Structure 1
Amino acid sequence: MDNPEDAAIFRPMEHDLIIVGGGLNGPALALAAARSGLSSIVLDALPGEIRQQDGFDGRGYAMALSSQRMLVNLGLWDGLVDNAQPMHHIKVSDGRTGDAQVFLGLHFDSAEIEEGPMGYMLEDRYLRRALKAAAEASPLIETRDGARVTAQVTSATGATVTLDSGETIAGRLIVGADGRASGTASRAGIRRTGWGYGQTALVCAIAHEKPHEGTAHQLFLPPGPLAILPLPGNRSSIVWSERDDRARAINALPDEDYLAVLRPRFGDFLGEISLAGKRFTYPLGLTLANSFVAERLALVGDAAHGMHPIAGQGLNAGLRDVAALAHVLDHAHRVGEDIAASNTLARYQSWRRWDTATLAASTDLFNRLFSNDNPVLRAARDLGMAAVGALPSLRRGFIREAAGLTGDLPDLMRD
């Protein structure tokens, strides 16, 4: 072989999957693949001590019921349930507080479906540690912290990645789980479509005087949506969108001044509030990879798509990618197909790309429709919410959608 890169590819396969990205989706995929007898190496560019921090910092995820089922099927839920907060209600209001006495808007109640809570709130620290610990305990999974990929090569027979240490690793399939600025995608020549919203999310956790009763609130305000998501105890996670310049100014304020800006948006339905944990910001935009697959390569999670947090579906969409890819790989492996063959990966892309494009378009539309104070649009959207609220079958459809129970579910997300 004249080309040394070709020679590297023809090395014996060390792993079935080379997973680039050690956040949440990467270890989840490795665990899912291990159920099928497939081996993985998870390459995390961050040092291990950063992933293992166990102090409360306020970051949490709204896990749809389908995502919770996936954690059950991966054998993780028993170790997480004591720190999870069930979401029994979702209240959606247009520019108003969530005060039960004056509430006008949509109310989704999990009692209207048979499966139970629509989802659970789970802090980042618990989920991240559980995934990492389970991956490290699996004989089919190797994990590398502080391992940055600098190059990748694929061919009809295999794939290799090169680390910044100079080491090369061979496998059958490369999976990019390395975020919106995915190096895996860019090295494969996969371009992205998207745009910024001119909005920044301010993220924090608050302690409050009154119980939240397992209710998540979505308040649509002219600068952007405000989500109040219940955490265990009298605490809630806040995801608060503002215009970029305004968000920068708010985030620069001392804690008490920051709360003074939040309180009139928040209302007093939970009594007195105070900050709990750290404060974060991140810019909001839409980004969609033009392809989720390439030769011996697949993208999952934010590497494939990033969308507005208006529906709280970011992690849920990523886990659905993971479950769908694991489903496709499992079925290919069972019948003796090459798990990284183009037709195998095409099945994954056809399953997930349309769903994520539709979800991204929906969140984009909702953000544009609600992030304004136009009286005509306000009247139209309030009329639409009233219509949904008045039709039980339509309301149940929205509840099932929020719970992640619609569409063609992968095996891991079935009860």
Structure 2
Amino acid sequence: MALRLKLRLIRTFVITSSGLIVYTIADKFYEPVLKPALQLLDPESAHDFAVFAAKHGLVPKDKGKDWSGLACEVWGRQFENPIGLAAGFDKHGECVDAMLSAGFGFVEVGSVTPEPQEGNPKPRIFRLEKDRAVINRCGFNSVGSSLVSERLRRRLAHIHSAQPGVVGVNLGKNKDTEDSKLDYEKGVVTFADIADYLVINISSPNTPNLRNLQQKNQLADLLEHVIAVRDASLKERSPKARPPILVKISPDLTDEELQDIVDICLKLSVDGMVISNTTVQRPHDLVEAKLAAEKGGLSGPPLKDISTSIIQKVYRMTDGRLVIIGVGGVSSAEDAYDKIRAGASLIELYTALAYEGPGIIRKIKTGLSELLQRDGFQSVQEAVGKNVLVSSSQYGMRN
């Protein structure tokens, strides 16, 4: 059966059986029913189908009640819980409310480029099933900032019916743009008045020379520019009402490079860091060795410890002065808790959603609540950086 026909049949089933699909997508039916159906499709088609289902309201709402201690305030914004959807799922701003209603406390849209672009040739996403991981080399495939902006503005125009939650926008650059500053400037100007926060993505391994923007001089020049653009475009707003600007960094940096980035972020009063993007490293214990040879960024459990280690380093380097969004290999409450104790105020996931289904959101929130209360914390914010403070005091470091 041709791939296109398979996709058409599944879509037809979804549309004509919308009453049943809610239960089909529910966690207890994901493994035996929906997951095998999605595996008939290549990974990118399966992703497109998932977005399609969410866009048409076919993802079940999280009807559970969050523990009050999961609510947190970051940058003066209220988060119902600290678990967010990482950039890469809703690239085009199509299903924000559906994913918020599924239980996420926030959603990061993108990456969005100023002009539409196809990205890299297909196939460009690969499942490492036995490792519960994914390799992608999408290359910022995007419908462009105008269309994404239009969708988000339309949502805000009907804010009374929108799902509560924080919405960030992850900004990328077009592949052929020579002056990167201009692309990020366009992104900031387009989204500054509608995004709750903005992420400057300079760490995808799939756009040529993008990671060079993490180098000291280039990064300082870029961040100084985008901060000035944000402030100028929203000069009528108080500084606290302007969207925070964050930098998304690579997990493949040396300690020296990481220190340079941290110093620049502190000097320029950048509001936070997203740690981390996918990695070009290939851990020696990957089971899917043949697929691991594919070029691109690796996500999922093999990235977990790498990203958590960097979170802890940055928290220690900054003495907790930068807000950290921790992302990379989160597939359980324990994974989220480890990143919080390492210094992350907020957590994002994506790959686990592809393998486990939307039920993973409730599982993580419930388990995280239990872990926090077990250890005597009244709120998630009390646990942020706790491991760093403990290790620092053991070695006589400032805490």
Compute the TM-score of the two structures, normalised by the length of structure 2.
Answer: 0.28
Which structure shows the higher strand fraction? Answer: 1
Compute the TM-score of the two structures, normalised by the length of structure 1.
Answer: 0.27
Which structure shows the higher helix fraction? Answer: 2
Instruction: Give the structure, 1 or 2, with the largest relative contact order (CA under 8 Å, sep 6 or more).
Output: 1
Higher Cα radius of gyration:
1
